[in-house]
Structure 1
Amino acid sequence: MSRSLTRSRRVRALAATALAISLIGACGAGERETPADPAATAGSAAGVQEAKDAMAGWAAAPEWPEVTKIAEPVDLTGKKFTYVALGDQIPVIHGVGVGVTEALAAAGADVKICDGKFNPTAVADCLKAAGDEQVDGVISAFVDYQMAGPAFDALAAKGIKVIVGGVAPSGGRQADANLDFYDNTARVFALHEAMSHAAVAEGGEDTNVLWVRLMDSTTTTGAGAKGVAKFKELCPSCGIAETEFTTANVDKLATSISAALVSNPDTNSVIVPVDSFVPPVLQGIQSAKMAGKVKVHSSSSDLAGLQRVKDGQQASDLGTPVLYEGWKFANAMVQLLAGQEVEKGDEFVTRAFTKANVGELTLDDESYLSDDWFGGGNYKKSFLTAWGVE
């Protein structure tokens, strides 16, 4: 039986910060439209099949994309770089930094990781410190240019090469010889759409989802919108509600989830953008007395996430090969140093982890910071060959 669309009402934040919306907003209850449009029902049947096919295809280890050759290789031996993470305590962001460190070290360089702590001041401090240390290059991860524009520009003015990574250009800043953007937002958007595939594939036409949207940056805000739109496209007769949060206010997330579920008692699926935020979501589900009724879907495949999948606390995890992503960030820096076009990160590389395949994995810290869950690290030789190192 098809379900009608649940119209969500969001509580808007009153105060804005440089990270975007700073207060978590819970969705209100919505009216149902009955009966469902027959055309919507037919569209949902096709969307459910599409979702199931996509999840089946992503269940296997991915194939690594080709790497563009550097026309005039640069010598990285002895060069110093700083990786500025928006928030290094998030495993997926830290893992990308480990990948950057591994990649540039393989080419003879040294890398220092600096934690921006999800705070514009801390991010700017990291960038200034890199300039004071006269590094050869800085790679930021998931920091909007407009969050620390003057600090980015100060580095570029000193001739330090800067990759603003994991985000689209913002603040009107154009790329130049010293500063460019590694824009992988297409991949991030695809990952959020994939989580909607996971929820629809698991719940079918009876799915009533709560989409939990992360509003830390323009990338995460846009990605959440893409995920919501994909869910509606796949299953127009399914129910959907939304709630928003930021990392800075994650302490309010459990309460927000509980309120949203109480307002939408037919919810049977929750999509959480990153594994790190699943624990407070589970707490909110428990508070709403809906444990066992609601399936949780997330992404990034950190160790805790895959352990939850194995234990049945989480239905799916769309994997992020963090070391590979780090090599992609490093590749952008090599392209900038070589005077080559910095390519966008458009390729979608993931693996869908569910109860069906997670049992074959070794789940420990060492494996997370490796490529074992994704079929091995053959891509590394491709990068080094493209850079002229091998």
Structure 2
Amino acid sequence: MKTTALTRTALSVTATRLAAAGLAAALAVTLAACGNGNDSTSATSGNGGGSAASGPASAAGKTAQAALAARAEPAGEIAEPGKPVDTSKLAGKTVYYVPIALKVGHFPLVEKNLTDALGRVGVKVYPCDGQGNPSGISACLDQAIAAKPAAVITDYVPYEMVPTALERVRKSGIPLYVAGAAGPEGTRQSATFAFGDPDPQGFVLMDGIGDAVIADSDAKAHILFLSVTDSSSTRRSGVHALEHLKQACPGCEVTEKQVNLSRMKDVPSLVSSALITDPSIDYVVPQYDTYLSAVTTGLQSSGKARSVKIATSGATLAAVQQVKTNDRLIAVVGVNPPYLAWTIADSVLRMLAGEAPPAEYPSMARAITKGNIGQLKLTPQAEVSGEWFGDPSVFQKAFTGLWSAR
């Protein structure tokens, strides 16, 4: 695949580490801003981590620090996302966009950028809020079938969550693109039914947060890892995170606790209890920044708010701001939501042109740390544009060039 413009840095780190890239940020619908956990003892920064000003001394710590430092750089290039596609006959068409929960996390960013991207070729987007539950998602899909759009997009809706409703869309003859979810075993990508496998987007996040902790602790961390069980993709990413920690940090100790959005209210007590039971825990790693607020509450309840550090993934504005204001939050690793929206747009345009979309796209990820937070504009406008991850015009030009669009 020819490299033209976007992620040499992000991809090279992934290739040399565990060879995945990504975001199973799946149900990482990042709801809450973490409390201002300022502390008299500052978490270390530098170029991506390090337990002291001189950086880690162990081989594992140095390897993690080098990987994190590379991932902390803004993306400058992207692997060419595909061949040109004929969009000349698509103007005036409408597609339905049905995310698992439209009003939370990165999904509003995806909707705005998806509307922008498809608008470049005259395709309109009609959003419908899945409301985070099967009945809401099914209602949106039935509404779409009745409206007969040119295509339907779902976003981070696991197939197993609403299989009957998704099959109704398929049988209606409307092209269906299931973004952020793996297809049933044996399913082949086609112009009428295709999936955007989240694993290549999710694993790089897990590598990144693991490397942040390994580097910061010099490979001696005792980690409370909160694995998210909401979907098969979040479970796979959690398993990947634990495997990465085991392989990259033999000297680390990991305690796993499973969490999910339906039991969010229980997370503070779970964290507090784990820390009181085992006072040696010095890092809490929630798989996604959805859980930052709950983790902070648990730290405060346990009396550990000033002695335990945090790393997570997601990178919404609320979480990124915490990297600056919360001394204990050492890193947030994210995949660029605006870029993800453009990959979804590319997939759907290919389907509308009668082509099967690619199963995956290059990753555009970045680790946001104490060392680079000062480079970022912490504004809603910057969040929407995706500029935290690199120049947005790079991926926009790459795609519009393939679409012969403005």
Q: Same fold (TM over 0.5)?
A: yes
Q: TM-score, length-normalised on structure 1?
A: 0.84
Where 1:317 maps in the other structure, the secondary structure is strand
1:98: Cα distance to partner?
2.4
- Worse-superposed segment, 107-116 or 217-226: 107-116
Query: Would the aligned equivalents of 1:84 and 1:127 in 2 still touch at CA under 8 Å?
Result: yes
Matching of residue 163 in structure 1 with residue 177 in structure 2 = yes
TM-score normalized with structure 2 length: 0.81
The structure-2 alpha-carbon separation of the partners of 1:155 and 1:338, relative to structure 1 and needing over 3 Å to count, comes to same
1:142 aligned to which of 156, 164, 168: 156
Instruction: Provide closer, same or farther for how the CA distance between residues 201 and 151 of structure 1 changes in structure 2, counting only shifts above 3 A.
Output: same
SS at structure 1 position matched to 2:96: strand
**In the TM superposition, what is the alpha-carbon distance from 1:303 to its structure 2 partner?**
0.9
* 1:184 matched residue in structure 2: 198
* Contact persistence 2:191–2:357 (CA under 8 A): no
**Structure 2 residue identity aligned to 1:60:** E
1:374 is matched by which residue type in structure 2? F
Superposed displacement of residue 186, structure 1: 1.4
Q: Judge which range, 144-153 or 342-351, deviates more.
A: 342-351
Q: Residue 340 of structure 2 aligns to which amino acid in structure 1?
A: E
Residue identity in the other structure for 2:231: S
Indicate the SS of the match to 2:62.
Answer: helix
Contact map agreement 1:118 1:248 (CA 8 A) in 2: no
Confirm or deny that 1:57 pairs with 2:75. Answer: no
Deviation at 1:70, TM superposition (A): 3.0
Q: Does 1:374 align with 2:389?
A: yes
Matched length: 348
Q: Using CA pairs below 8 Å that are at least 6 residues apart, which structure has the higher relative contact order?
A: 2
Equivalents in 1 of 2:299, 2:156: separation in Å? 29
**CA distance in structure 1 between the aligned counterparts of 2:171 and 2:236, rounded to whole angstroms:** 30
Secondary structure, in 3 states, of the residue corresponding to 1:146? helix
CA pair 115-141 structure 1, distance change in 2 beyond 3 A: same
State the match for 1:323 in structure 2. Answer: 338
Two-structure CA RMSD over aligned residues (Å): 1.9
Residue 214 to residue 94, structure 1, CA distance change in 2 (3 Å): farther
Question: Which secondary structure state, in structure 2, belongs to the residue aligned with residue 117 of structure 1?
Answer: coil
- What letter matches 1:207 in structure 2? A
Percent identity between the two aligned chains: 28
Q: Distance in 1 between matches of 2:296 and 2:164?
A: 40
Q: What secondary structure, in the 3-state scheme, does the structure 1 residue paired with 2:329 have?
A: coil
Which is further off, 342-351 or 240-249? Answer: 342-351
State the match for 2:61 in structure 1. Answer: 48
Structure 1 position 75, deviation (Å): 2.8
For the Cα contact (< 8 Å) 1:156–1:162, is it kept in 2? yes
- Matching residue within 99, 103, 106 for 2:113: 99
Whether the 8 Å contact between 2:191 and 2:356 is mirrored in structure 1 is no
Partner of 1:303: 317
Q: Relative to structure 2, which stretch is displaced further, 75-84 or 168-177?
A: 168-177
Q: Tell me: CA distance 1:178–1:216, structure 2 relative to 1, closer, same or farther (3 Å).
A: same
- Distance apart, 1:69 and its partner CA: 1.9
| 2: CA distance, partners of 1:365 / 1:184 | 25
Residue number in structure 1 paired with 2:286: 272
User: Which deviates more from structure 2 when the two are superposed, residues 81-90 or residues 69-78?
Assistant: 69-78
Gaps of 5+ in 1: 1-18, 20-43
CA positional deviation for 1:118: 2.0
What residue identity is the alignment partner of 2:241? Answer: G
Distance 1:122 1:266, change over 3 A: same
Structure 2: gaps spanning 5 or more residues: 1-26, 28-56
Q: Secondary structure at the match of 2:106?
A: helix
